Amino acid sequence: MAHFLEQDNTPEAELRRGLVPLLVRQGMIVGVGLVTQLVATRLLSPVEFGYAAGAIVTLGVAKLFYNGGLAVYLVQRKMSPEPGEIAAVLALQMALFLLAECIVISLFLLGLISPEASLLLAVSLLAIPATLVRAAFVIDLERRMRFSTIARIDITEQLTGAGVLIGLLLYGIGFWAIPTAALLGIIVSTLVARKSAPLDWSIGWSLLRAPATWLGVRFGLWYMIPNLIGAVRSAALPIIIGGMVGAKEVGLADRAGFIAGLPLMLISGIQQKALFPFAARVQDNLPLLRNTLSGAIHYGAMLDKLLFLPLLLFPKEIFTLLLPPAWLECVPLLQVFLVGNILFGALASPTYPVLNGLGRSGFIAWMALATTVITWTLLPLMIRHFGLVGYAYNSLLLWFVLPFYYIAIQNLLGKISLAPMLRPLLAFSLTAIFVDTIRRNSPNLDLARADSLAFAIVLSELLYVIVLISVDQKGTASLWRTLRQVVGAART
């Protein structure tokens, strides 16, 4: 990965210059999102989060239209979009949105979902057309890897949505605040995107008849399919768990999965935003892409363990300090979720966007289908046998697809060693064992106070850094050099 940091006026240099804005973007998104979710979790009960689960899944679908959608092929392909092509694909996507709204209306008319659930889904679905319009503005920015502008657009959405959500929750409208705040955040960020990247709204209908365009749309569909299938898999949470054990358990499972995924959310958000357009731009330079991916895996493994450590060591203390007592039931699920994320997240996060950038969305779609079939088949059995924690066990099983991703990326790029990923895991394990041993042998240690807990977390993190340097001196030195070069490039 150090190789591309030495070059200028190339996709590699653009990636380097864009990493700091992406880091700021992701830090703002996760930081503001964490505060917002903390406030929402304190003000809403597990039951209310359970009722909102359908809206949360729908908003997730809206996100995938922004990060992908049919127009993603306009980023992935080598040629720039022709005049009217973006608007034509946008019109096609709007037609699909209208079809989704018709399905919701049909479900209501058939009596399959309640009036309140129908209205909640209908409002949530309004986020999709707003997201499609914003994505149309951002396409050219992604092609040119203008990450600082993209970061500004995304941060605007996050800050607007957070402010509206907290305000509406304090006003007392309950779980309706979630889709309403998300929709307003998207609308405001779309206005910012419009100013940053004007779009030619003339629709090139003739382009939709071109074979090359339909080949591209087919790629976009393959890109979307894994995410749409993932939404179907996520729908198992409100449908299966809600039907078997109730809305409260849906809320508990949702929060446990969200909190356990926060470290990966911070790192993978940067990797996915940067690596997909980068892989698409340098897809003919496989050695460079292999080195970049290897570096992303190694650096991600070092950083995510730093973030996972407090969640693994002090989950009950953190929940007790920050959340109402009702949420303590999340802890057993959280601990199971953490196992998979800690062991496998560093490899999965950068591999996925690189495969997409190389046009292997079809393979990803089949893997997503396999995990969805397993979820809908095994989850009822897991819940019946293990209770609510069975949902976390089921999620742990889904990591079985990772070896297939690893084989696929090696077939494309050549051998990628996993040894650099294992050294941070060793440092993490040694630190966790040592700290846990100290805790077990210190009966007078009181971590119920905020200052004591913060002190214990800081000491644990420092210990991890020291152990990591001792077991991976070259890796930590390389990470430090890379961070300095990236910050220097951003300043210039």
Tell me the mean pLDDT per 10 residues along the chain, length 492.
Answer: 46 58 68 81 79 63 53 59 66 70 65 63 74 76 73 85 89 83 87 75 54 59 68 73 80 89 85 80 85 92 94 93 88 94 93 86 85 90 92 92 93 89 94 92 82 92 95 90 69 57
DSSP result, 122-186: HHHHTHHHHHHHHHHHHHHHHHTT-HHHHHHHHHHHHHHHHHHHHHHHHHT-GGGHHHHHHHHHH
How confident is the model at residue 4, as a pLDDT? 38
State how far the Cα of 469 lies from the Cα of 480, in Å rounded to an integer: 11
Task: Dig out the tokens for 480 from the structure.
Answer: 């430090």
What distance in Å separates the CA atoms of residue 176 and residue 180, rounded to the nearest whole number?
6
Looking at residue 324, what is its pLDDT?
A: 86
What is residue 191's predicted lDDT score, i.e. its pLDDT? Answer: 86
Residues 6+ apart with CB under 8 A from 191: none
CA angle 333–338–342, rounded 5-degree value: 170
Residues 305 and 341 sit within 8 Å (Cβ to Cβ)? no
Q: What is the predicted pLDDT for the residue at 223?
A: 63
Query: Under a CB-based contact definition with an 8 Å cutoff, are residues 349 and 272 in contact?
Result: yes
Euclidean distance between CA atoms 271 and 19, whole angstroms: 9
What is d(CA 492, CA 481) in angstroms, rounded to the nearest whole number? 17
- Give residue 299's region: left, alpha or beta (phi > 0; psi -120 to 50): alpha
Question: Contact 380/244 with Cβ under 8 angstroms?
Answer: yes
End-to-end CA distance of the chain: 20
Question: Could you list the residue range(s) of the whole structural domain that residue 475 is in?
Answer: 4-491
Among candidate residues 181, 175, 177, 183, the one with its CA nearest the CA of residue 127? 183
Q: What is the pLDDT of residue 83?
A: 59
Where helices occur in 323-360 by DSSP H, the ranges are 331-357
**pLDDT value of position 283:** 80
2, 295 contact by CB (below 8 A)? yes
Length of the chain equals: 492
Question: What is the structure's pLDDT at 429?
Answer: 96
CA distances from 473 to 3, 283, 297 (A): 19, 31, 16
Contact 426, 471 (CB under 8 A): yes
Nearest one of 143, 165, 219, 216 to 35, comparing CA atoms: 165
Task: Give Cα separations from 70 to 78, 196, 258 (angstroms).
Answer: 16, 22, 27
Cβ atoms within 10 Å of 140's Cβ, excluding its own: 17
What is the number of domains present in the chain? 1
Mutual angle of helices 247-260 and 331-357, in 10-degree steps: 60
